Amino acid sequence: MNNIFPTKYIKITNKYSSSHKGVDFGWSSAYGGNNVNILAINDGVIYKTEIQKKGGYCLYIKHDNGMVSLYAHLKKNSYRYKVGTRVSRGSVVATMGGTGVVTGNHVHLSLYKSTVLKDSNKVDPLPYLYANSSNIINPNTKANYKINYEDNSFNPSNPTSGELKVGDKVKIIGKYASSSTSTTAVNKKLIGSTRDILKIYSGRNYPYQVGNSTGVSGYFKASSLQKL
Ligand SMILES: [Zn+2]
């Protein structure tokens, strides 16, 4: 089974490098704020908890494939399970926090290729993680990182769908349809112009009704709109 991301809202704030052997994930006030649930990236057993000077409250999960995931900077005393407890992929194991040395709340995820918890066993977690339809991906993260997708129900061409809300100003970058239930969008005369999101018809082909004070301009997919 694929690993999932440790947060439902995916916003990468710091990538893996030789001097930062993990990936940092931030938060959004629109998606739960800075104390969101931290999820087990896969089935496994709570392997260890510890308080590190830099990492703050840390939790380790040993997975069935022998790899170990580490979640750092957790909220103090937010561990949900005792060491030795079996957890499932997606189990809430802790709360995001800002313990240890940080500039703000986030979760630092490291991935060890074995149960030997030494720095040289850490690998870049990102290629091992898969987004699915339960995730919302920050547009900058979507644009700047290669994100794996677990299933086809998640449409990678529609990455900002969770980001747009009524009242947002958008730049139009694609064609529009005449109705939210249209099957094709043919009209491109608004490309380059700026409008507002008037209404959202979730689940329809062209869910974003866009316009301005003088009325409705058209119906769009998220991929044809750029939030300003
Ligand atoms: Zn980090």
Among 32-41, 141-150, 187-196, the range of highest mean pLDDT: 32-41
SS (H, E, C) 99-162: CCCCCCCEEEEEEECCCCCCHHHEECCHHHEEECCCCEECHHHHHHCCCEECCCCCCCCCCCCC
CA 118-119-124 angle, to 5 degrees, is 125
Has this prediction a pTM greater than 0.75? Answer: no
Residues 8, 39: contact at Cβ < 8 Å? Answer: yes
Residue 104 CA to ligand 1 centre (angstroms) = 11
Q: Check residue 125 and give its pLDDT.
A: 98
**Distance from residue 14's CA to the centre of ligand 1 (Å):** 7
What six digits make up the tokens of 189? Answer: 């005369």
Enumerate the β-bridge partners of residue 51.
57
CA of 66 from ligand 1 middle (Å) equals 22
Burial of residue 110 (CB within 10 Å: 0-12, 13-18, 19+) is buried
The per-residue pLDDT for 50 is: 97
Q: How far is the CA of 16 from the centre of ligand 1 (A)?
A: 8
Strand extents, DSSP E, the chain: 3-4, 9-10, 12-14, 23-25, 37-39, 44-52, 56-63, 68-74, 86-87, 92-95, 107-112, 122-123, 129-131, 136-137, 148-149, 169-172, 194-200, 208-212, 215-220, 225-227
- pLDDT (0 to 100) of residue 151: 63
Q: 107: CA distance to ligand 1 center in Å?
A: 7
Q: Are 193 and 170 in contact (CB under 8 A)?
A: no
Average pLDDT of the residues of the chain: 91
Res. 165 pLDDT band, cuts 50 70 90: confident
Half-sphere exposure of 182 (CA within 13 A, CB side): 18
Residue 215 CB neighbour total at 10 angstroms = 7
CA–centroid distance, 126 to ligand 1, in Å, is 13
Strand partners for 52: 56
Bridging pattern class, strands 37-39 and 122-123: unpaired
User: What is the whole-number distance in angstroms between the Cα of residue 172 and the centre of ligand 1?
Assistant: 36
User: By the 8 A CB rule, do 25 and 6 touch?
Assistant: yes
Residue 72 Cα, ligand 1 centroid: separation in angstroms? 8
Give me ligand 1 centre to Cα 18, in Å: 12
Taking the C-alpha atoms of residue 163 and residue 136, their distance in angstroms, rounded to an integer, is 8
pLDDT at 194 over 50: yes
Give me ligand 1 centre to Cα 63, in Å: 21
- Measured in angstroms, how far is the CA atom of residue 164 from the centroid of ligand 1? 28
| In the chain, % of residues over pLDDT 70 | 95
What's the gap in Å between 32 CA and the centre of ligand 1? 20
pLDDT tens for each residue of 147-161 = 998 764 444 444 444
